[in-house]
Amino acid sequence: MKKASLREAYGRTLVELGRENKDIVVLDADLSGSTKTQMFAKEFPERFFNIGIAEQDMIGTAAGLAVAGKIPFASTFAIFATGRAWEQIRQSVAYAKLNVKIVASHGGITVGDDGGSHQAVEDVGLMRILPNMTVIVPADAIEMAQVIRTVAAYNGPVYVRSARIDFPVIYEGTDYKFQIGKGNILREGNDITIMAMGLMVHFALEAASLLSLQGIESRVVNMSTIKPIDRQLILNSARKTGMILTVEEHLVTGGLGSAVCEVVAEEYPVPVKRIGIKDRFGISGKPDKLLSYFHLTPQDIVAEAKQLLNSKPRLLRAVG
């Protein structure tokens, strides 16, 4: 299976954008080698600002650059971007409705060995709750590149989450075009809908193949925009398959699962099961071991899907 780095895709796309538009500027907080903003820094040193280990100041500086008409991309690890600088993002970026792009690497538990202090499991929730903020979690390197181009052209605050590890490539050779606020149906099926974000999109596709062998046909959706969430697609899926499984490398509260539940509960109640991290922080370990430990594998998705299908009549009685 071909894998590719979202971080590399980010770095490469930034360089392309930098060549096309002199107003693209990039900031980092001493992690430019990891976030790959270093690629931009090498080609455009005068438009790259290393703010040092000072994430709050980095966000404020990015806000100032946006006030003056620049298109700043500010990068660091997800937990430092969204946690350490949350109130700066709230006040100086979201409240001000400024054109700042916060692109964080190292989302989720696949950060691995560094442990829970460095694994952002709440970043999407922290950003999703902010008015004016757009939140995007790309599923592979190809989508990442498209997302970066799209948000550079969009005027407003955006949070993009990528990861430390390489993701399986999904969109190679397709004519997929990312659009803010649009989920993408990757596989059709009538029995159950699996909605996922980030790395979990590929796992959902694997799970769908396994389920198909057992005669269960799944609709698989890449819900790369978490905010604004694609309500139409959620409601359409709810009507079509009567149940939704959400999968995210994030807490089950605040992220994709919550967003889907909010829409379904208010507009078309169907059973929803959320797969993700359950009210706890991450720990050290190799990424693949951690994915198993946190029950975030294709096999886990299969098991949850079957359980949801089996409980459907009971759940429907409950909501009916």
By CB under 8 A, residue 12 contacts other proteins: no
CB atoms within 10 A of CB 283: 12
**Interacting residue with other proteins among 6, 41, 65, 137 (CB under 8 A):** 65
Binding-site size, other proteins (CB under 8 A): 30
By CB under 8 A, residue 156 contacts other proteins: no
Q: Which C-beta is closer to other proteins: that of 43 or that of 114? A: 43
Q: Which stretch binds other proteins (CB under 8 A): 42-50, 110-118, 159-167, 249-257?
A: 42-50
- State the catalytic residues: 55
To other proteins, the closest distance from the beta carbon of 154 in angstroms equals 18
Ranges of H-type helices in 29-158: 32-35, 38-43, 55-67, 78-79, 86-88, 123-128, 141-153
| Residues from 173 through 202 that contact other proteins (CB under 8 A) | none
Q: Which C-beta is closer to other proteins: that of 89 or that of 247? A: 89
Q: Which stretch binds other proteins (CB under 8 A): 66-74, 183-191, 218-226, 290-298?
A: 66-74
279: left (phi over 0), alpha (psi -120 to 50) or beta: left
Classify residue 223 by its DSSP letter.
-
**Interacting residue with other proteins among 26, 62, 226, 309 (CB under 8 A):** 62
By CB under 8 A, residue 45 contacts other proteins: no
Beta 225-227 vs 134-136: how paired, if at all?
antiparallel
Kindly report the three-state secondary structure assignment for every residue of 126-183. HHHCCCCCEEECCCCHHHHHHHHHHHHHCCCCEEEECCCCCEECCCCCCCCCCCCCCC
Go through the chain and tell me how many residues it has.
320
Binding site for other proteins (CB under 8 A): 25, 46-47, 49, 51-52, 54, 56-57, 59-70, 72, 87-88, 90-92, 95-97
